[in-house]
Structure 1
Amino acid sequence: MLYGAEHIERYEATDGAEGYDFGDHGAEILILTTVGRKSGEERKNALIFREVDGGYAVVSSAGGAQAHPGWHFNLVADPNVKVQIKGDKFAAKARIASDEERAAIWPKMAEVWPDYNEYTKKTDRVIPIVILERQ
């Protein structure tokens, strides 16, 4: 499996032919580009996603760390993001899922990445789900 910068590079170079399918449970990857809240520079992350109600859900898990991942803070500061799903590149607006949305979406995310349920046991924080809505 690809990880980190190599994952992003291969995904972008192949329009997702390499790096879109991830893991053993049918997880699919998108590339999320945020603007660094401190640096002002573009930051890219390869994230597991699920399509939900015309948008795309991603999980701010950071592997169950005590703090949200950096990309989460970036999109809270500036919700205007870029997304790439395979060869489809588009602008999106990010928002944090409501408690009700999170409850409905979480099982769908854990279906393709069961480790999400384990991550909740490693942290006291509620792990947010972010919805990316195509603009």
Structure 2
Amino acid sequence: MILIHHIGAKTGTVRVNPLVYFPQPDSSMLIVASKGGAPTNPDWYHNVLAHPRFDVEVGTETFTVEAQVLTEEERAEAWPTIVAQRPGFGEYEKKTSRVIPVVRLRRVT
């Protein structure tokens, strides 16, 4: 699990959400804006778009990341691996007509 400390798009308030993450070979991490297959994206996703630099907690480590939504091609490549590791995301995809966004988090040095 990862804890993202995102900043409210309208309020500027720091909020914390626990999410599943997928470590990548390039040391980045992917998170999925599934909202359980709801018809709209989760609030944290809108906040991350508005304020893409924020802190995360992974295990005992806290660090700053920069978020970027995967392109359509990048998502198409990553999605099968995400669903293979966590089949629930495939079930969420079946529940909604929206394309579930995938966000890459890269550590800021």
**Which interval holds the TM-score relative to the shorter structure?**
over 0.9
Aligned-residue identity in percent: 36
Letter in 2 for 1:86: G
The correspondence of residues 1-135 of structure 1 with structure 2, limited to 5 A, is: 29-52=1-24, 53-135=26-108
Q: Secondary structure of 2:99's match?
A: coil
Deviation at 1:112, TM superposition (A): 2.6
Deviation at 1:38, TM superposition (A): 1.5
Tell me which structure has the larger Cα radius of gyration.
Answer: 1
Higher relative contact order (CA 8 A, sep 6+): 2
Report the more deviating stretch, 49-58 or 66-75: 49-58
Asked if the contact 1:60/1:68 (under 8 Å) is kept, the reply is yes
TM-score (norm 1): 0.76
Structure 1 residue 35 displacement after superposition: 0.2
Where has structure 1 moved over 2 Å in runs of 4 or more?
A: none
| Unmatched tracts of structure 1, length 5 or more | 1-28
Deviations 1:47-100 (A, max 9, x none): 001112220000000000011000000010110111111011100000101112
TM-score, normalised relative to structure 2: 0.93
Q: For the residues of structure 2 that align with 1:85 and 1:101, how far apart are their CA atoms?
A: 24
Q: Which residue number corresponds to residue 19 of structure 1?
A: none
Q: How many residues align?
A: 107
Question: In the alignment, residue 43 of structure 1 is paired with which amino acid?
Answer: R
- Deviations 1:12-57, CA, capped at 9 Å, x for gaps: xxxxxxxxxxxxxxxxx11111001122111111100111222000
- Coordinate RMSD, CA, aligned: 0.9
Q: Per the alignment, in what secondary structure is the counterpart of residue 67 of structure 2?
A: strand
Given that 1:49 and 1:109 are in contact with CA atoms closer than 8 Å, whether structure 2 keeps it comes out as: no
